[in-house]
Amino acid sequence: MFSAASAVSAVSVTRQVAAAALAALLLTAGVWASWGAAQHVTFPTGRERGTMTVTRCTHDTCTGPFAPGSPTAVRHASVTIDRSIGETKGASFPVVLKPSSTSAVRAGTAGFLHAWVPLGGALLLASVVIAGGMRNRRLTWITGGAGFALLTATFVAVSF
């Protein structure tokens, strides 16, 4: 027969497994969302690298000329980049072009951190799930702290 203690234990284990699965799903989604931009910044070999100077910004994107970093690369009159806090008219920063397009991704440390922002948000969300479902304080603080550190470092790197 089942006792009340074993029923409570089964519910506790089920809650922890469900919370772990949800946290893993959140982190996987964060990596998946980040990978679209991060792959170009993390592995820039074989991609066009250079500098972009912002000439015009809309609500979502900024455009400007692309000056290649190597003499064999193609100069583009206009490339686009997703707008973030660091892009203002006249700003110049290193970029990597996505293959076969005029879409750019910010390069360097700021670009690397900016590409992983969705993962930072996922880490913060996962820390809440871990705190409520798994009740593991240490893992909650590590996960939340990593997300907060990533987002703060990104804000600082992109702002300056």
Q: CATH code at 89?
A: 2.40.50
In a domain, 90, yes or no: yes
Residues 115 and 150 occupy one common structural domain? yes
7 located within any domain: no
Closest CA to 98 of 113, 80, 83, 77: 80
Helix (H, G, I), strand (E, B) or coil at 33: helix
Number of domains present in the structure of the chain:
2
Check whether residue 36 and residue 75 sit in a common domain.
no
125 and 152 both lie in a single domain: yes
Q: Report how far apart, in Å, the C-alpha atoms of 10 and of each of 7, 16, 130 are.
A: 5, 10, 18
- Given 106, 123, 141, the domain boundary residue is 106
Please, which residues have CB within 8 angstroms of residue 153's CB and are 6 or more apart in sequence?
113
pLDDT tens for 112-154 read 999 999 999 999 999 999 999 999 999 999 999 999 999 999 9
Mean of the per-residue pLDDT values of the chain: 92
Same structural domain, 144 and 155: yes
2 domain residue, yes or no: no
pLDDT digits (tens, 9 = 90+) for 37-89: 999 999 988 889 999 999 999 989 999 999 998 887 788 899 999 988 667 88
Q: Same domain for 124 and 88?
A: no
Determine phi and psi for 98, rounding to 5 degrees: -70, 145
Domain-terminating residue out of 106, 121, 149: 106
Boundaries of domain holding 131: 16-44+109-160
